[in-house]
Structure 1
């Protein structure tokens, strides 16, 4: 049985379709939970669903007209998104039919399931892929090279590796182009710091150092990105949030959990670095 625990969020009116998919997931050794009977309205719903979502690693959202018109399904969606903000659980939205995607899910990769066997196999692969992604085989130099490719895959341009010549500890300079609502091209300038840890946990000193650079040495329009294979502790997250509120400055952080999810969306990275 897979170490991943998967919660299925669906409308009870789509029960027949979801039963078929659930059976296929179980036959592929995926540990799933979904409520197989219509829940009564009341406090038990909140407690039961919240517990199941909080104890899951992945939540699959089965989007349909029934789901989008159901108050209870919308509550499940809200609960899943709320939990994902706390601990970066994996959310996989799939469509059972042609529907308008909720704005809350616009940033997610949507899988069109329908009745396609190929799409179902793709869903199974997606569930199993994230636990298999590991950064343990990298050396620090190889991890930096991987991060450079990762930045390209996510639309960064003019990426320059600073290497040992950097006097501020940043590993990459990069640009990101986007359009304003009026069609004007806007160029953001980024400094990227890469932190690779073999065994130890992420150090709060790394965050403190970057924030000091941002506050005292860097122009206000320079954006900072920290990419690490380690997992941010609650202490680091709390410190970062408090500092950014007080200083009105921002640093984007991609830790090991989020990095796995972003890599899983890019086939070229999977093929080149992880052979999954």
Structure 2
């Protein structure tokens, strides 16, 4: 069972209910919060909304001319972004009902286009496919280049939106290959934070110009300020697809 929160303007209520009903059809055990059903009379609205946003696994915002003008939708969006940063996992997903301008906070997000009438079913399953994958906002990227006839140089780094870079305290890279043993460094490199992060930069906490003569596996652990850790396993193949 998954927990959903749908954020919308009441002017788009028909679409919101259609979305809710289709999520329930996939699995009737799913718990979908929508204010028509969720908030009890007399609740302290902001407090209740924050709790529901923290509670949900997936936050879906319905974007339209109506919703971008709604102070409540804006409030919910801001809280959803805070919740994402806190947990380090992607929970915010957006659908676009018209050609209204996207909020600046959603520039780094994939927004599904629901503007064409009659395409609801196809777009709905694209949305759910993206939701079930639930990727983290943190990714480990790398590049490999020729060094000598006997080996290769490679670089690895953390790639994520700027807001998430600021949440990193430490990144550890552990290799199944020995690097620079004479210097006493065995299979482990640590990159401490915080570092000065320029607004334009999305690649930080990297290890650079490491040498290898064979394909290797790297285990990466990102330690976040909220004490949560994110783990990756990367296989780096050398000898093919060299940059």
Shorter-chain-normalised TM-score: which range? 0.5 to 0.7
- Residue aligned with 2:94, SS: strand
Q: In angstroms, what is the RMSD of aligned CA positions?
A: 4.3
What TM-score comes out, normalization by structure 1 length? 0.53
Task: Specify which of 117, 137, 155 is matched with residue 173 of structure 1.
Answer: 155
Which aligned runs of 4 or more in structure 1 are off by greater than 6 angstroms? 37-43
- Structure 2 distance, partners of 1:22, 1:7, is 9
Please, which runs of 5 or more residues in structure 1 have no aligned partner? 134-146, 176-191, 197-205, 215-221, 238-253, 260-276
Please, which runs of 5 or more residues in structure 2 have no aligned partner? 158-170, 176-186, 196-202, 208-217, 233-243
Aligned to 1:92: 93
Aligned to 1:159: 144
Greater relative contact order structure (CA < 8 Å, 6+ sep): 2
In the alignment, does 2:54 pair up with 1:73?
A: no
- Structure 2 distance, partners of 1:195, 1:161, is 22
Task: Specify which of 124, 132, 135 is matched with residue 120 of structure 1.
Answer: 124
Tell which structure's C-alpha radius of gyration is larger.
Answer: 2
Tell me if structure 1 keeps the 8 A contact 2:93–2:109: yes
Aligned to 2:192: 211
- Structure 1 distance, partners of 2:189, 2:172, is 13
Deviation at 1:7, TM superposition (A): 0.9
Q: 1:83 to 1:46 in 2, by over 3 A?
A: same
Tell me if structure 2 keeps the 8 A contact 1:172–1:193: no
Tell me if structure 1 keeps the 8 A contact 2:172–2:221: no
Q: 1:33 to 1:40 in 2, by over 3 A?
A: closer
What TM-score comes out, normalization by structure 2 length? 0.59
Task: Specify which of 15, 18, 29 is matched with residue 16 of structure 2.
Answer: 18
Q: 1:21 to 1:235 in 2, by over 3 A?
A: closer
- Structure 2 distance, partners of 1:99, 1:207, is 48
Tell me if structure 2 keeps the 8 A contact 1:94–1:113: yes
Tell me if structure 2 keeps the 8 A contact 1:10–1:73: yes
